[in-house]
């Protein structure tokens, strides 16, 4: 008779940390990819500029001051989302490899291999 692998419950601190990260995602406002620049007057072109990649090509758009300020915040929010998701992935892998049964190994997997550092 085959034994059914059982999983141990996730540690309470990891669960609380994951819940906190999930709550952070709900607080994020508008998001956008790309970069914005304030080139200043006399730059020989638009003062405010937004650039991003579209199918491997850089696309640049001239902006008004209001658009620049709005996009600057949206891009900052996007970077926060990316950082939060990276932390959630790291925590998920940590719980996975600590609680879910795994095949026998000759040597332990390093933190670098598991993506924990």
Distance CA(25)–CA(7), nearest Å, equals: 27
Largest CA distance in the chain: 79
18 part of a folded domain: no
pLDDT digit string (tens) for the chain, length 117 residues: 455 556 666 778 888 999 999 999 999 999 999 999 998 877 777 799 999 999 999 999 999 999 999 999 999 999 999 999 999 999 998 888 888 777 887 777 787 877 777
- For residue 13, the Cα-to-chain-centroid distance in whole angstroms is 21
pTM recorded for the entire structure: 0.76
Distance CA(82)–CA(80), nearest Å, equals: 5
Distance CA(22)–CA(84), nearest Å, equals: 8
83 part of a folded domain: yes
51 part of a folded domain: yes
Residue found under tokens 């891009």 = 75
At residue 6, the pLDDT reads 60
**Domain range for 73:** 31-100+108-114
4 part of a folded domain: no
Q: How many domains does the chain have?
A: 1
């Amino acid at each position: 008779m085959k034994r059914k692998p059982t999983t141990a419950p996730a540690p309470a601190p990891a669960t609380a940390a994951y819940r906190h990260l999930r709550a952070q995602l709900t607080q994020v406002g508008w998001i956008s990819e790309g970069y914005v620049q304030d080139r200043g007057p006399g730059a020989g072109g638009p003062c405010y500029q937004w650039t991003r990649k579209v199918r491997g090509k850089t696309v640049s758009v001239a902006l008004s001051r209001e658009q620049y300020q709005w996009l600057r915040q949206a891009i900052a929010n996007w970077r926060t989302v990316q950082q939060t998701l990276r932390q959630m992935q790291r925590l998920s892998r940590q719980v996975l490899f600590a609680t879910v049964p795994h095949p026998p190994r000759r040597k332990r997997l390093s933190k670098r291999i598991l993506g924990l550092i």
